Structure 1
Amino acid sequence: MITGVMLFAVEAAAEEAGGLFDLDATLPLMAVQFALLAIILNAVFYKPLGNAIDERDGYVRSTTADAEERLAKAEKLAQEYEQALAAARREAKQIVEDAQAEAQAIGDQTMASAQQEAQVQREATQKDLDAQKQSAMAALEQQVDALSQQILSKLLGAAA
């Protein structure tokens, strides 16, 4: 029985005369099957995948463009705010300098008026002191005169 199967296989091999590159209907049939498989794979897998990739690419591009636009706006706003802040700082500095100058002027004026008032009070006090000195000197002169008169009268009264 094994020899019968071997004999059949040898006979079948002998009937195939073409060998390795026999060109019969198998090759075009395989080419048609390959083309059909490529068309089916393209329709089922590759096209939806390509569409998804294209949509994603479009989304990424639009998002990137939108982000760049927002970044440009943000940078412009930041620059405007920095300029406004610099102007506000200059204005604040000028206000502080003006206030300091005004305070200095008021202080100088107050100091001058205080010195003038002190001078007036000093002069008034000096006049009062001079008046008191004059009155004290007058009182002392009267007392000296009275004492001189008493001394004279005692001396003359004792001598007479």
Structure 2
Amino acid sequence: MIHSVWFLAVEAAEEASGGLFDLDATLPLMAVQFVLLAVILNALFYKPLGKAIDERDGYIRSNKVDAAERLAKAEQIAKAYQQELAETRRQSQAVIATAQEEAQKLAAQSMAEAQQEAQAQREQVQRELDEQKHQALTSLEQQVDGLSRQILDKLLSSAS
């Protein structure tokens, strides 16, 4: 069909021998050829190219939407993790504060027990010292009495 149309166009061009603007069958024939060329180009090149461009555009849009959803989900997860981290920090600070209070209570209790034990030992030592002092005084009194008697006996025996 293309060959026959082309052939007709060539014949029409050969028959026409006019001026600058002859309005014979050449103009409509050129218009038909142009439309026919546009239809052929559209069918062979532009539709597949347009289809590929549309598919690519759809792919990009779907990836963009998917990426936006993933980003939103990642931001939500990050926010949840930050909240969980903050809560965990608060809990750990509370546990540390409780442990410090318990340690201070244990230290105070141990200190009080140590002071009581030291006081009890001091009192025990004081009692032992008092007892030893009393024994020493008693022993000294006995020795003084013995020595006094001996001195007295010697004085009396030397005086007699």
Displacement after TM superposition at 1:24 (Å) = 2.3
The count of aligned residue pairs is 145
What is the percent sequence identity of the aligned residues? 65
Matches of 1:97 and 1:28 in 2, distance apart? 97
Matches of 2:122 and 2:96 in 1, distance apart? 37
Q: Unpaired segments of 5 or more residues in structure 2?
A: 1-15
Report the TM-score when normalising by structure 2.
Answer: 0.86
Where does residue 158 of structure 1 map in the other structure?
Answer: 158
Q: Please tell me the residue identity of whatever aligns with 1:28.
A: P
Q: 1:80 to 1:17 in 2, by over 3 A?
A: closer
Displacement after TM superposition at 1:17 (Å) = 6.1
Matches of 1:93 and 1:116 in 2, distance apart? 34
Where does residue 83 of structure 2 map in the other structure?
Answer: 83
Matches of 2:71 and 2:26 in 1, distance apart? 63
Q: Please tell me the residue identity of whatever aligns with 2:95.
A: I
Displacement after TM superposition at 1:157 (Å) = 1.2
Matches of 1:95 and 1:139 in 2, distance apart? 64
Q: Please tell me the residue identity of whatever aligns with 1:122.
A: R
Where does residue 10 of structure 1 map in the other structure?
Answer: none
Offset from partner CA, 1:42-97 (integer Å, 9 cap, x none): 00000100011111111111111111111111111111111111111101110111
* Secondary structure of 2:20's aligned partner: helix
Matches of 1:75 and 1:39 in 2, distance apart? 51
Where does residue 100 of structure 2 map in the other structure?
Answer: 100
Matches of 1:68 and 1:119 in 2, distance apart? 75
| Pairing of 1:10-89 with structure 2 (within 5 A) | 18-89=18-89
CA RMSD of aligned residues (A): 1.3
* Secondary structure of 2:106's aligned partner: helix
Where does residue 126 of structure 2 map in the other structure?
Answer: 126
Q: Structure 1 residue runs of 4+, over 4 Å off?
A: none
Matches of 1:17 and 1:33 in 2, distance apart? 21
Displacement after TM superposition at 1:128 (Å) = 0.4
Higher relative contact order structure (alpha carbons within 8 Å, sequence separation ≥ 6): 2
Displacement after TM superposition at 1:18 (Å) = 2.5
Where does residue 136 of structure 1 map in the other structure?
Answer: 136
Where does residue 149 of structure 1 map in the other structure?
Answer: 149
Matches of 1:45 and 1:117 in 2, distance apart? 104
